[in-house]
Amino acid sequence: MSGPKRTIYFMEPVVLDAKGKVSPIQVGFWDALHDHVSTLQPASRSAEIFGRRIDGEAAEALSPARKYLYVGKHRPKADWPHATDASGVTGAIDSSVVSAIIEYAYLLPVPGTNYVGLLRSSGGATFSALEAWLTSVCPKLPQGGSVVLRPYVRKDQLERLAKARGASKVELKIDPNTFGTKAPVGGDLAGALAEAQEIAGGGVSVELSLSFGRATPSEAGSENLAKQVQALLKSGIPLQKAKATVVNEDEHGKLVRDHIDFFRDRVTVTSEVGASEDEAPTPSAAVSAITEATKTFLKRLD
């Protein structure tokens, strides 16, 4: 019997200063952070983020022997499921016996790089919540700085965008609470997404579509739109969808369109976790799954 298949995300940390400018970081970011978190008391690695308690710790699996970060989001008791005991009685979970139900996330560094493999439960901390927790425990950040997680996007996709004459259509989507209390960085598109999300207090997902329709896009407008997409993709803002239709001239001077789905080819790897659907995932099973997925990820790096 095989274990459940889960998606492993591969992300890269980016440190931003208070003005949204990228601060350089050296390879070894995750190892240094693991060493630092291992020295913190429990209260110093716990935070309330978007109304939920999130605890983290630095841990080490024995087989395979790998260091990793564990980040757990407490599920509110009002959302606790029911359970069946050994005698077959089904009912609410006894909170005097079980103090918390935790939605997990494992972060395992990719050796020799600053990428990290991320495996989380279906209700685990969102990327934005993980960024907020990382910011809370990361030492030596610039004043007002933050840590963001940038998905690995194939470089050839970015090159197609950079070489295009402009963009005639853009489709974007972000999760709820993507920006939190942080000022948006990443250009005008980031500002538009943040402003739209703020209308509902941050608790809604936002989809944004800009299009010239069937009309021939103006040179200045399409060029600026393409530049804004580039700025957004390089900002580290965790997007759930990013598509663009770019325009170029063929050998006869005729405008032709090229469709780019930046995250369709985003590098994620599906991996089996554990030996059976009926087994709770152990740290070793999670680390083993990410380790196997990392082999595939490294083969896909440009």
Q: What is the pLDDT of residues 194-228, one digit of tens each?
A: 889 888 887 888 999 999 988 888 889 999 999 99
Query: Residue with structure tokens 């907020």?
Result: 132
The structure tokens listed for 48 are 């309330």
Rounded CA gap, 53 and 63, in Å? 29
The Cα-based distances of 4 to 109, 112, 116, 274, 276 in angstroms read 22, 29, 21, 7, 7
Residue 296, helix vs strand vs coil:
helix
Mean pLDDT taken over the chain: 86
What mean pLDDT comes out for the span 45-54? 94
Residue 164: is its pLDDT beyond 70?
yes
* Contact call for residues 224 and 183 (beta carbons, < 8 A): no
* Residue 141 DSSP class: P
HSE on the CB side for 152, CA within 13 Å?
A: 22
Of the pLDDT bands very low, low, confident and very high (cuts 50, 70, 90), residue 183 is: low
Residue 30, helix vs strand vs coil:
helix
Q: What is the pLDDT of residues 227-261, one digit of tens each?
A: 999 888 877 677 878 899 999 887 777 888 888 88
Residue 36, helix vs strand vs coil:
helix
What mean pLDDT comes out for the span 157-164? 82
Residue 35: is its pLDDT beyond 90?
yes
Question: In the prediction, which pLDDT does 187 show?
Answer: 84
* Contact call for residues 133 and 69 (beta carbons, < 8 A): no
Rounded CA gap, 259 and 267, in Å? 18
Question: In the prediction, which pLDDT does 275 show?
Answer: 62
Of the pLDDT bands very low, low, confident and very high (cuts 50, 70, 90), residue 294 is: very high
Q: What is the pLDDT of residues 115-160, one digit of tens each?
A: 999 999 988 998 889 999 999 999 989 888 899 887 776 666 777 8
